[in-house]
Amino acid sequence: MSDLWTIRLLAITVIGLVITILLIIKSKVSYKQNLAAIAGDLRRILDENTAEKVMLFTADKTLIELNTQINRILDDRQRNRADYLRAQFSTKRMLSNISHDIRTPMTVIQGYIEILMMDEHNDAATLKKVDGKVKQVTKLIEEFFTVSKLESGDYPIALSRVHCNEVCKNSVIGFYDILTEKNFEVTIDIPERDIFAYADRESINRILYNLISNVIRYGFEGGYLKLKLREDDGGVYIDVIDKGKGIDPISAKHVFDRLYTANDSRNKDIQGNGLGLTIAKGLAEKMGGDVFVCSDPHVKTVFTLKLKKYNF
């Protein structure tokens, strides 16, 4: 009888150990699963940039504390992001208002100068120089005003069918005098078939003005300008090509940044202020397109405007 009880006790002990081991294994598996769930939720929240919190149902006090601290960090992150966005919007709105407030008196000053220039007794040469500087500052303010409106989302864009062949031709014609004066070789590659984009005509005109101005300002040493219109299933493309000094890889990453200018710009016929390409980029994105650059210094530099195709 004693041996039987011993065997039974031993069996119960073994069974108890097995159950304990199984519970430990299950607990470890559950622990790893919960950690994996926390990591997965956190990764998704960060990737999607949502305001969600990590949800976890467990009785493990350590995991509960970990989950609580993670959600505290997410709360802080969300508050900081909200504060940043409010400050950014406030700054952009302030810059837009300042630009508007400065532009008005400058316009009045320019009007007075024009009146004085009509009087033959005044020093016309000096007044002309002053008038030129006022126009330069006015243009800078106007471009700064445009950038502010684009960044604040307060720039109206009216999308419609645009005949790109016509827009491209007119853009080059607008620079005919200065291109001729600078002895540029000009090539226009526009297909005979009509190409239409779903875009804003005035915005395209301004983008091309800025891109061609950029060629005259920085690519004048090459004495070459080519404008090419093309399309494929992905969209409509307008290439503005020059053979000037080009853009080094580091500068190429920043040419669309606000107020970025090349250090060795020497052409003063069209003053550079570092806003033209920023405006071009902003207008293109506003139309659902883009502007990008590819440059092989002293060989070929290509600025490409990409637009949506008109398929309606």
Domain coverage including residue 72: 1-155
Give domain status of residue 312, yes or no: no
Give domain status of residue 213, yes or no: yes
Q: Mean pLDDT across the stretch 144-156? A: 75
What is d(CA 62, CA 238) in angstroms, rounded to the nearest whole number?
60
pLDDT at 202 over 70: yes
Q: What's the number of domains the chain is made of?
A: 2
Q: What is the pTM of this model?
A: 0.60
Give domain status of residue 27, yes or no: yes
Q: In this predicted model, what pLDDT tens digit does every residue of 34-84 receive, in sequence order?
A: 677 777 777 887 788 888 887 777 767 777 787 787 788 878 888 888 877
Pair (93, 230) in one structural domain: no
Which has the higher per-residue pLDDT, 210 or 46? Answer: 210
Contacts 24+ apart (CB under 8 A), 154-157: 154/96, 155/282, 155/283, 155/286, 157/200, 157/203, 157/283, 157/286, 157/287
Pair (195, 296) in one structural domain: yes
Contact residues for 164 (Cβ-Cβ < 8 A; gap 6+):
195, 196, 197, 204, 229, 236, 238, 307
| 97 alpha-carbon distance from chain centroid | 22
For the domain that residue 34 is a member of, what is the CATH number? 1.10.287.130
100, 122, 155: which is the final residue of a domain? 155
What is d(CA 207, CA 186) in angstroms, rounded to the nearest whole number?
19
Pair (207, 139) in one structural domain: no
Closest among 215, 225, 267 to 246, alpha carbons compared = 215
Give domain status of residue 19, yes or no: yes
* 111 burial type by CB count under 10 A (0-12 exposed, 13-18 middle, 19+ buried): exposed
For the domain that residue 265 is a member of, what is the CATH number? 3.30.565.10
Pair (120, 167) in one structural domain: no
Pair (112, 181) in one structural domain: no
Pair (206, 69) in one structural domain: no
Give domain status of residue 295, yes or no: yes
pLDDT at 144 over 80: no
Give domain status of residue 266, yes or no: yes
Amino acid at position 311, single letter: N
155, 181, 209: which is the final residue of a domain? 155
Q: In this predicted model, what pLDDT tens digit does every residue of 233-260 receive, in sequence order?
A: 989 999 999 998 888 888 888 888 766 6
